[in-house]
Chains A and B, each alone.
Chain A
Amino acid sequence: MSNAVKVEKLAKVFEFNKGRGFSKTRVETTAVDRISFEVPEGQSLAFIGPNGAGKSTTIKMLTGILRPTSGEAEVLSLVPWRQRNKLSRLIGAVFGQRSQLWYHLPPRDTFELLSRIYELDRSQYLRRSDMLIERFALASFLDTPVRKLSLGQRMRAEVAASLLHQPRIVFLDEPTIGLDVVARQELRDVIREWNREEGVTIFLTSHDAGDIESVSRRVIVINHGRIVLDDKISNMRRRYLSSKVLNIKFHDEHSEVAVNGVTVLKSTGYALKLEVDCQVVGMEEVLHHVVNAGSVADITIEDPPLEEVIAHIYGQAGSSEAAENVEVS
Chain B
Amino acid sequence: MSSWQKYPWIALVAARSNLAYWGDVASRFIFLGVVLYIFLRLWQVTYAQMGAAELGGFTLAQMLWYLVITESITLSGPRVAQAVDEDVRTGVLSVQLVRPMSYPLFRLSTTMGERLVRFVMNLLVGSVVALVFVGPIKLEGAGCLIFLLSVPAAFILDFLTNFSIGLGAFWLEDTSGLLLIYSRLTMILGGMLLPLELFPDWLQPVLKALPFSSVIYGPAHLLVHPDWSAWADLAIRQLSFILVLSLFVAFLYRTALKRVFSNGG
**Chain A contacts to B: CB under 8 angstroms:** 14-16, 56-57, 60, 63-67, 81, 84-85, 88-89, 91, 93, 95, 98, 100, 102-105, 109-110, 112-113, 116-119, 145
Q: Which residue of chain A has its CB nearest to the CB of B100?
A: A88
Q: Which residue of chain B has its CB nearest to the CB of A89?
A: B100
Contact: A66 with B100, CB < 8 Å?
Answer: no
Given the complex, which residues of A lie within 8 Å of B260, measured CB to CB? 65-66
Contact: A95 with B99, CB < 8 Å?
Answer: no
Minimal beta-carbon separation of A66 from chain B (angstroms): 5
With contact pairs A57-B264, A66-B261, A67-B262 given, residues A104 and B101 touching in the complex (Cβ less than 8 Å) = no
Complexed CA–CA distance, A324 and B188 (Å):
53
Given the complex, which residues of B lie within 8 Å of A98, measured CB to CB? 90-92, 95
Say which size band chain B's interface belongs to. Answer: 20 to 34
Q: Which stretch (B4-12, B127-135, B141-149) binds chain A?
A: B4-12
Chain B, residues 9-27, CB within 8 Å of chain A (1/0): the string is 1100100111011000000
Complexed CA–CA distance, A102 and B13 (Å):
9
Minimal beta-carbon separation of A90 from chain B (angstroms): 10
Contact: B20 with A104, CB < 8 Å?
Answer: yes
Given the complex, which residues of A lie within 8 Å of B263, measured CB to CB? 14-16
Q: Residue among B90, B92, B264 with the most chain A CB within 10 A? A: B264
Q: Which residue of chain B has its CB nearest to the CB of A95?
A: B95
Give the A-B pair count, Cβ closer than 8 A. 78
With contact pairs A67-B261, A104-B21 given, residues A109 and B100 touching in the complex (Cβ less than 8 Å) = no
With contact pairs A66-B261, A104-B21 given, residues A116 and B98 touching in the complex (Cβ less than 8 Å) = no
Q: Which residue of chain A has its CB nearest to the CB of B24?
A: A104
Contact: B17 with A102, CB < 8 Å?
Answer: yes
By Cβ-Cβ distance, the 4 closest A-B pairs, closest first, are A104-B20, A116-B9, A116-B6, A67-B261
Contact: B5 with A116, CB < 8 Å?
Answer: yes
Given the complex, which residues of A lie within 8 Å of B95, measured CB to CB? 93, 95, 98, 100
Contact: B20 with A145, CB < 8 Å?
Answer: yes
Contact: B98 with A63, CB < 8 Å?
Answer: yes
Complexed CA–CA distance, A88 and B99 (Å):
5
Given the complex, which residues of A lie within 8 Å of B3, measured CB to CB? 119
Contact: A65 with B98, CB < 8 Å?
Answer: yes
**Chain B contacts to A: CB under 8 angstroms:** 1, 3, 5-6, 9-10, 13, 16-18, 20-21, 90-92, 94-95, 97-101, 260-265
Minimal beta-carbon separation of A143 from chain B (angstroms): 12
Complexed CA–CA distance, A62 and B111 (Å):
31
Q: List 30 A-B contacts (CB under 8 A).
A: A60-B94, A63-B98, A64-B98, A65-B94, A65-B260, A65-B261, A66-B260, A66-B261, A66-B262, A66-B264, A81-B261, A84-B97, A88-B98, A88-B99, A91-B98, A93-B95, A93-B98, A98-B90, A98-B91, A104-B21, A105-B20, A110-B13, A112-B13, A116-B6, A116-B9, A116-B10, A117-B9, A117-B99, A118-B99, A119-B3
Contact: B6 with A119, CB < 8 Å?
Answer: yes
Minimal beta-carbon separation of B23 from chain A (angstroms): 11
Complexed CA–CA distance, A84 and B100 (Å):
9
Contact: A104 with B17, CB < 8 Å?
Answer: yes
Complexed CA–CA distance, A94 and B231 (Å):
48
Extra A-B contacts (17), CB below 8 Å, given A105-B17, A116-B10: A14-B264, A15-B263, A57-B264, A64-B97, A65-B97, A88-B99, A104-B17, A104-B18, A112-B9, A113-B10, A113-B13, A116-B1, A116-B6, A117-B6, A117-B10, A117-B99, A118-B99
Contact: A65 with B264, CB < 8 Å?
Answer: yes
Complexed CA–CA distance, A109 and B5 (Å):
16
Q: Residue among A81, A91, A110, A118 with the most chain B CB within 10 A? A: A118
Given the complex, which residues of A lie within 8 Å of B17, measured CB to CB? 102-105, 109
Complexed CA–CA distance, A205 and B262 (Å):
22
Minimal beta-carbon separation of B9 from chain A (angstroms): 4
Given the complex, which residues of A lie within 8 Å of B262, measured CB to CB? 66-67
Complexed CA–CA distance, A56 and B262 (Å):
14
With contact pairs A65-B261, A104-B21, A117-B99 given, residues A109 and B94 touching in the complex (Cβ less than 8 Å) = no
Given the complex, which residues of B lie within 8 Å of A60, measured CB to CB? 94, 264
